[in-house]
């Protein structure tokens, strides 16, 4: 279920905007979209500030999502009843992922920048104001003023540097609110998805924000909504929310830890393997199923074997493995004879068939 714009991000070669009628509303009411500190709005998806606001021709954002999901379920009833559709992945943000649109290429972000907080539309600020009042600190009803810009590095900012404001009283308050809004959005949409798709597995997609993981603040994760600095586990609350709804986790960073030696990962202070294990352990500890997909093109046996090692580990003492795997992408290159032969072999091994390694 895609409730986001396709196009404008890394690797996108297709552009499918939000529905025309939504864009029309946005022209007169820009606060239906996320807005950054400089006032730039992001039209990739609707702000979670309108999840409960009737600004979409009399409906709230979550009512629009629910109406779409219910309509889809009715229209394709035969496919559900016959088991052809066995799982529905519910979009919860940009690129269909549960996160804030903190790293928009269209606003100049480039890897491995820290990104920016996206909480400056009127409805998000209203929520922040309410949270600050409840804490008895009205002057906390603001976003950080020293968090740098999209392409800053943590040490260049007062907020994200070692010992920075992110770990002070205000910083902890703000990050707790910001990340809780993310969890609340997922909770609300999934509760309606369960109603719409009763009896069918539902899943969500979580991104792997692996850069700057080796810093104290984990700044890129913080701006994306994951309150995961080095002294706190920011993925437990998400895993518990998914467990509540019986939803699966599709983690989109699964094979990145095979690229540990890539130079750009080292320069970005990245730790894909550390992130992957943290997220997967949070999921498995919460007893939720984990699915995955490949982030990069893969056509050779070495790459396929690495995927198999991750998705179906042979020596895991706890017998933990992924419940399903989505192969991306079906390109003309894949259909070339040798590549397709390797793909066929990969599929057989995924399904547990013994395949002889005659050559590598």
Q: Which residues are catalytic?
A: 97, 293
**Residue 254: strand, helix, or coil:** coil
**Residue 97: strand, helix, or coil:** strand
Nearest CA-CA partner of 182 in 207, 148, 200, 202:
207
Return the bridge partners of 89, or none: 203
Rounded-to-integer distance, Cα 171 and Cα 183, Å: 18
Rounded-to-integer distance, Cα 92 and Cα 308, Å: 28
Rounded-to-integer distance, Cα 69 and Cα 91, Å: 11
Tokens of 268: 């970005």
Return the bridge partners of 56, or none: 59
Nearest CA-CA partner of 238 in 199, 292, 184, 307:
184
Total length of the chain: 360
Q: Which residues contact 221 (CB under 8 A, 6 or more apart)?
A: 209, 212, 213, 227, 228, 234
Rounded-to-integer distance, Cα 356 and Cα 270, Å: 36
Cα 169-173-176 angle, rounded to 5 deg = 135
């Amino acid at each position: 279920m895609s409730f986001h714009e396709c196009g404008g991000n890394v690797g996108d070669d297709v552009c499918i905007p939000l529905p025309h009628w939504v864009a029309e509303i946005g022209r007169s009411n820009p606060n239906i979209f996320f807005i950054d500190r400089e006032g730039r709005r992001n039209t990739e998806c609707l702000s979670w500030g309108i999840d409960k606001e009737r600004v979409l021709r009399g409906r709230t954002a979550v009512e629009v999502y629910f109406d779409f999901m219910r309509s889809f379920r009715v229209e394709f009833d035969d496919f559900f009843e016959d088991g052809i559709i066995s799982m529905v992945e519910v979009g919860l943000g940009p690129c269909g992922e549960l996160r804030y649109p903190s790293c928009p290429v269209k606003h100049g972000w480039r890897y491995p920048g820290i990104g920016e907080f996206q909480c400056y539309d009127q409805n998000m600020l209203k929520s922040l104001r309410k949270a600050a009042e409840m804490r008895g600190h009205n002057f906390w009803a603001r976003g950080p003023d020293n968090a740098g810009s999209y392409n800053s590095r943590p040490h260049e900012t007062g907020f994200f540097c070692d010992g920075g404001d992110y770990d002070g009283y205000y910083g902890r308050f703000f990050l707790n609110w910001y990340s809780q809004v993310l969890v609340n959005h997922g909770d609300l949409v999934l509760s309606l998805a369960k109603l719409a798709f009763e009896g069918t597995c539902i899943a969500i997609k979580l991104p792997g924000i692996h850069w700057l993981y080796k810093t104290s603040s984990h700044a890129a994760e913080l701006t994306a909504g994951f309150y995961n600095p080095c002294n706190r586990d920011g993925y437990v609350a998400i895993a518990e929310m998914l467990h509540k709804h019986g939803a699966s986790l599709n983690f989109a960073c699964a094979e990145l830890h095979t690229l540990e030696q890539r130079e750009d990962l080292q320069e970005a202070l990245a730790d894909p393997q550390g992130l992957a294990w943290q997220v997967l352990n949070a999921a498995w500890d919460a007893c939720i199923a984990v699915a995955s997909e490949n982030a990069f093109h893969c056509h050779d046996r070495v790459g396929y074997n690495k995927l198999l090692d991750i998705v179906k580990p042979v020596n895991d003492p706890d017998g933990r493995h992924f419940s399903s795997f989505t192969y991306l992408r079906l390109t003309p290159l894949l259909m070339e004879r040798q590549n397709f032969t390797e793909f066929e072999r990969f599929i057989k091994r995924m399904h547990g068939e013994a395949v002889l390694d005659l050559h590598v």
